[in-house]
Structure 1
């Protein structure tokens, strides 16, 4: 591994840790000596990386630093291209355009040999279901999730029965055949999943919902995990 590649790997390792990490742990992860880790940390500091800590205590990288020039492996390049193509084909128009714009910005700062990998990628996205008419509100839903705003929706179930709901949207899942909102439903007093193509009407409320989105997301994940464990345990009987 070249020194430049090792420095990039060290940065990536730092970003995986939210708390101070020991030099020994970093050395073990990268497969180098502790002395090399300390030397590389000093090199990153000299290039502007805000790394706090000391030997025997641990180190932490403050966010915001990018090692120039921006470097990616061939697999990472292909992942970026494939991911942006998928988003462009499977999501709403603003998000698809954002994916294309992001790829253009990445290409602008890549070295020429890596930039060629963006243009020459052979990974393609196959055809999928087009957005239904009711899914034109996806940009509004995404904005409500970001701003933690309640939504009032008119929602039709699988049988076509319509109810009015007030929901707290926390996530939006993109499947090939459907786009699904994860939300707390005030009517059911529990988490529910709503297909975007069954929303007949939508209004964003002026006030936010009372809990933080991150807390709600964690609660939903715990509920889903419990449900999966019960299903697994039941199948083992």
Structure 2
């Protein structure tokens, strides 16, 4: 088998084992040298796999966000690269760096014609002229969305009036010239939209949302999506 196939097989073996498995056992399963197993473990770690353990003890794959082996056709690869290039050109620093790592990971596991598509792709996403966003605020905002928890923020509205708010974050929209947070605002007791460049400070709280985020998102779609936005 090719090295790419071996890496995917190794990943699958680690995923299926609940307990650490030694490099010797892995080398027997894959019919390669123990030294090759060590190199393969390092390669998988460099690609983002959380593998615990060390030589002489055994290795184990930690549970996490790990995609199973996938294959893409040419158009799917072009769509992936175009989307990642848009993020690289338009998002905050953390997302830009994540897009670059994602492109590198895809490039590391494809071969032949697929790799040619990646390296010679001529679909590009121009930079959108967003208002400047604070990287730490953007990072904390995504954290509150993932954890489905409330957040406390200080917001400057279109009349330069500052207010402190407790919100239930729902979604982020990337508009033509701004990034917008949709949320339920406890101060206004209704759904509101907030431009990220006007958020002065933002802190994810320990308090969980009172309703599942999917429920709030669906209510927002029904009640607000087709209405004019405020607080812009």
- TM-score bin, normalised by smaller chain: 0.5 to 0.7
The runs of at least 4 consecutive aligned structure 1 residues that moved more than 3 Å come to: 133-136, 224-228
Corresponding residue number in structure 2 for 1:172: 172
Alpha-carbon distance between aligned partners in 1 of 2:131 and 2:225, rounded to the nearest angstrom: 29
Q: Within the alignment, does 1:140 sit opposite 2:177 as a pair? A: no
Corresponding residue number in structure 2 for 1:222: 222
- Aligned alpha-carbon RMSD (Å): 2.2
Query: How far is 1:97 from its partner?
Result: 1.4
Structure 2's unaligned 5+ residue stretches are 1-65
Aligned ranges 1:37-116 → 2 under 5 Å: 70-116=70-116
Alpha-carbon distance between aligned partners in 2 of 1:205 and 1:118, rounded to the nearest angstrom: 41
Query: How far is 1:73 from its partner?
Result: 2.2
Alpha-carbon distance between aligned partners in 2 of 1:121 and 1:202, rounded to the nearest angstrom: 38
Q: Within the alignment, does 1:204 sit opposite 2:204 as a pair? A: yes
Judging by fraction of residues, say which structure has more helix. Answer: 1
Q: 1:200 to 1:208 in 2, by over 3 A?
A: same
SS at match of 2:203: strand
What is the TM-score normalised by the length of structure 2?
0.64
Query: How far is 1:71 from its partner?
Result: 2.6
Alpha-carbon distance between aligned partners in 2 of 1:108 and 1:139, rounded to the nearest angstrom: 27
Q: 1:184 to 1:227 in 2, by over 3 A?
A: same
Corresponding residue number in structure 2 for 1:160: 160
Asked if 2 retains the 8 angstrom alpha-carbon contact of 1:135 and 1:197, the reply is: no
Corresponding residue number in structure 1 for 2:151: 151
Spell out, residue by residue over 1:96-135, the C-alpha distance to the aligned partner (whole angstroms, 9 max, x if none). Answer: 1111212222222223211110010101121322551545
Corresponding residue number in structure 2 for 1:5: none
Aligned length: 163
Asked if 2 retains the 8 angstrom alpha-carbon contact of 1:172 and 1:181, the reply is: yes
Alpha-carbon distance between aligned partners in 1 of 2:119 and 2:223, rounded to the nearest angstrom: 43
Asked if 2 retains the 8 angstrom alpha-carbon contact of 1:87 and 1:99, the reply is: yes
What is the TM-score normalised by the length of structure 1?
0.63
SS at match of 2:158: coil
Alpha-carbon distance between aligned partners in 2 of 1:169 and 1:221, rounded to the nearest angstrom: 14
Corresponding residue number in structure 2 for 1:186: 186
Alpha-carbon distance between aligned partners in 2 of 1:79 and 1:109, rounded to the nearest angstrom: 17
Corresponding residue number in structure 1 for 2:121: 121
Corresponding residue number in structure 2 for 1:39: none
Asked if 2 retains the 8 angstrom alpha-carbon contact of 1:154 and 1:202, the reply is: yes
Asked if 1 retains the 8 angstrom alpha-carbon contact of 2:149 and 2:168, the reply is: yes
Asked if 2 retains the 8 angstrom alpha-carbon contact of 1:135 and 1:196, the reply is: no
Alpha-carbon distance between aligned partners in 2 of 1:188 and 1:119, rounded to the nearest angstrom: 50
